[in-house]
A and B are shown apart, each in its own frame.
Chain A
Amino acid sequence: MVEKIQIAHIPDDLPIYVACYKDVQNASFLKQQLLAGNQVYNYAFVDATTILSRQHLLAAAFRALNDHIHDRLKSNNVHSEIVVCLSSNNNIGDAFRRFGIQDSTKDLVIVKVGLSPEFASESVEGHLKDAIEGTPVPFDDAFLRQTCDLDKLRKTYKLGKPQQGKTVMNGNGGHATDERSDIEVQVLGLMALRGAT
C-alpha cells in the first residue's frame, strides 16, 4: 500500500513514498517518537482529516521538496516541512498542531522522502507495518473524501462559510466533490503564498 510518487520538476533522486492508514490505535506513541527526534520515525505524519485530496497533499510535498533543494526549510527537516507547507501561515507550531498527528488521530497520511537510495517502497512498507497499529488503505481521493473534515478545513484556511443554496442550484443535493474542488484552488494558492511579505 506504499505508493512511490515522482513529483514533476523535482530531481529524479528525490521520490516520495506515501501510505495511508485508518483506525490508527497508536497515534500518541508515534507523536512521541517525533517529539523525541527518533530518527527511525522520521516521516511526515499528517492527520488525514485536514487533507482535501491527493493534489492538496502533493502540492505541499512539492513546495517542501523545492524548499529543500534550495536549502531554505523553515523547520528541522524535509518531513516536518511537508506539514509546514500545508499551512497558510508561517507559524510552525501552529502548522504542526493543525495538520500534524495528534494523540486523537485515527486517520493518517504518511510521507517519506527518499533522501537516499536505500528507501525502497519495500523497506518503507516493512517498517510501517511494524510501526503503525492500523489498517492500511490506498492514498486516493476516495479515502480522503471520507476522512476530510471540511468545516475544520474552512476554519483553518479562513475560507468563510459555504454558500447557502448552492447545492440546490446544482440540483444534486450535497455534491461533496464539487465543494472540494471549489475550495481546493484557493487552498493551493494560500499555501503557495505562505511567508510572502
Chain B
Amino acid sequence: MSTTELQVQATDAQELIHLLPSPFTNTQPAPELLTQGAEALVYKTHFLTPAQPAILKFRPSKAYRHPTLDARLTKQRVLAEARVLVKLSAPDVRDAGVHVPGVLALEWDVARKVKNTGAEVERYRKEAQGAVSGAWILMEFVEGSSVKDLLRGVDGYVKGRAGSGNAVNAEEMVVIEQEVKGLLRRIGRAVGALHSKGGVVHGDLTSSNVMVRPYRKDHGLVNGDGDAHGEAEEDRCPNLSGDVVLIDFGLATQSTQDEDRAVDLYVLERAFGSTHPKQEGWFDAEVLKHQDGYKGSFKGSNVVVKRLEEVRMRGRKRSMIG
C-alpha cells in the first residue's frame, strides 16, 4: 500500500483502528494519531491508566503496507532507538542535562513466540492476528512544545503586535531576544551533554525534535502562566523556560567520534537556517560558541566546533557540484 493510500485510510476513524498494533486495538479511549511519517505512525495514548499520557511510535512491518521496509530492519530500528533512550535515561546522564522520554514498553516482533501454552489464549490470539504487525515503542509523553513552534510563536507575536499598531518597543525587544538567546544556549548545552555524557549522536537534530518542557509545578519553578507555553497566540509571547528535551532517536547512534558530533551540529544548523531564518545569525554565537552553549558543555567541544568548519566546507562544495 502506498503512503497516500495509507493517508486516505487514516482519515477514516474506523479504519484507523486497523493500523494499530495489538494490544492497542483494545485501548480505551483509542490512541489518537499525531503524525504519520514515511516509516512511523505516532499516536498519543496512555500507559497503565488513562491519566498517564504516553506516545506510541509504531513502525508497521507488513510488506504490502510498506514495501520498502522489511521486518528485520523495522525491528533493528526500534530496538536501536529503545536502547539509546534507555541508556540516556540513566540518572547520571539526566543530571548532566540530557532529557529524553523514557521507554515504558516495547515490542520488536509481534510474531515472536517462545512456547505454546495452548487453547487458553486462543481467543486473544485471534484478535491479535487481526491487528497490523510491526514493532513499537511506548514512551513517556513530553509536555510542552517543539522549539520550532516556540520560535514561530515568538515571530508571530512580534509580527502580530506590529500589525495591530502596538509594535514591540526596543526595551521589550531586548527582553525577547535575551529569552530566545537563552533558549539557544540551553539547546547547545543539551546537545553537548548528549554527545559527551550520553555518548550518543542524535542523527536528525531539527527544531521539531527539540522540545521545551515547562518546569514541573511541584518543584516550584513554573513561572506562572505555563498554559501560554507554545501556543502560537499572537497576543502572548510564548514562555521559553523549561527543560530542553530531545525526541525522535530513530536515527541515533552510539558514537563519540568528533566527525559524527560535528555532522550532528551541522544538521541542526542547516535545519535552523531553513526553518528559522531570523534566528540563524545567532546560531553560531549562541548554540555553538557561547560558554553556556555547546562550547562550555564538555572538554572536547572545541575540537568538534573546529571540525564543524570542515563539515560546512564539504557541504558547500557538495551543493555547488550537485
- The proximity string for B residues 93-117 relative to A, scoring 1 for CB distances below 8 Å and 0 otherwise, is 0110000001111101010111111
Q: Which residues of A36-77 are within 8 A (CB) of B?
A: 55, 58-59, 62-63, 66, 68-74, 77
Q: Are A193 and B26 closer than 8 Å at their CB atoms? A: no
- Interface segment among A25-33, A126-134, A139-147, A159-167: the answer is A159-167
Residue among A7, A10, A71, A163 facing the most chain B CB atoms (10 A cut-off): A71
Cβ–Cβ contact B85 & A73, under 8 A? no
B140 touches A185 (CB 8 A): yes
> Quick check: B47 and A8 within 8 Å, CB to CB?
yes
Determine whether the beta carbon of A160 is less than 8 Å from that of B49. Answer: no
User: Is there an interface contact between A185 and B89, defined as CB atoms closer than 8 Å?
Assistant: yes
> Which residue of the partner chain B has the closest CB to A88?
B86
In the complex formed, the residue of A with least CB distance to B128 is A70
Would you call B102 and A186 a contact (CB within 8 A)? yes
A residues near B91, Cβ cutoff 8 Å: 159, 162-163, 182-183, 186
Question: Please, which residues of chain B bring their CB within 8 A of the CB of A183?
Answer: 91
Q: Is B125 in contact with A69, judged by CB distance below 8 angstroms? A: yes
- The range of chain A's interface size is 35 or more
* Cβ–Cβ < 8 Å partners of A59 in chain B: 47-48, 104-105
Whether the Cβ atoms of B95 and A70 lie closer than 8 Å is no
28 A-B residue pairings within 8 Å (CB atoms)? A7-B48, A8-B46, A8-B48, A8-B50, A9-B23, A10-B26, A11-B23, A12-B26, A59-B48, A69-B121, A70-B22, A70-B121, A71-B116, A71-B117, A71-B124, A72-B112, A72-B113, A73-B117, A160-B90, A182-B91, A182-B94, A185-B89, A186-B102, A192-B103, A192-B106, A193-B82, A193-B83, A193-B106
A11-B124, A189-B86 given; A74·B92 CB < 8 A: no
Q: Is A196 an interface residue (CB 8 A)?
A: yes
Q: Which residues of A contact B120 (CB under 8 A)?
A: 115
Q: In the bound complex, what is the Cα–Cα distance between A192 and B140 (angstroms)?
A: 13
The reply to whether B108 and A186 form a contact with Cβ atoms under 8 Å apart is no
Minimum C-beta distance from A46 to chain B (A): 17
Is A188 an interface residue, CB under 8 A from the partner? Answer: yes
**Count of A-B contacts judged by CB separation below 8 Å:** 110
The reply on A124 being an interface residue by CB < 8 A is no
Q: A9-B23, A189-B89 are in contact. Are A71 and B121 (CB under 8 A)?
A: yes
Any chain B CB within 8 A of the CB of A190?
yes
CB pair B115–A73 under 8 Å, yes or no, is yes
B291 at the interface (CB under 8 A from A): no
Inter-chain contacts of A63 with B (CB < 8 A): 105
In the assembled complex, which residues on chain A have CB atoms less than 8 Å from the CB atom of B3? none
Known: A59-B48, A189-B85, A196-B108. A10 touches B121 (CB 8 A): no
B95, closest chain A residue (CB): A163
**Extra A-B contacts (12), CB below 8 Å, given A159-B90, A182-B94:** A8-B47, A10-B26, A59-B48, A59-B105, A68-B121, A70-B125, A77-B117, A188-B104, A189-B86, A189-B89, A192-B106, A193-B103
Q: A8-B49, A59-B48 are in contact. Are A189 and B92 (CB under 8 A)?
A: no
- Of A9, A72, A183, A186, most buried by chain B (CB within 10 Å of CB) is A9
Shortest Cβ distance from residue A181 to the other chain B in the assembled complex, whole angstroms: 10
Contacts of A159 in B (CB 8 A): 90-91
By a CB distance below 8 angstroms, the chain B residues around A185 are 89, 102, 140
Quote the shortest CB–CB distance from B287 to chain A (angstroms): 26
Residue B176 at the chain A interface, CB threshold 8 Å: no
| Contact between chains at A69 and B105 (CB < 8 Å) | no
- Which B residues are in CB contact (< 8 Å) with A68? 117, 121, 124
By Cβ-Cβ distance, the 9 closest A-B pairs, closest first, are A189-B86, A185-B102, A69-B124, A189-B103, A192-B106, A72-B114, A182-B91, A9-B23, A186-B89
Q: Is the Cβ of B104 less than 8 Å from the Cβ of A192?
A: yes
Asked if B124 contacts A62 (CB within 8 A), the reply is no
CB-CB under 8 A for A11 and B26, given A160-B90, A192-B82: yes
A6 to chain B: closest residue by CB: B49
Per-residue 0/1 for B55-79: is the Cβ within 8 Å of any A Cβ (1 yes, 0 no)?
0000000000000000000000001
User: How distant is the Cα of A104 from the Cα of B270 in the complex, in angstroms?
Assistant: 61
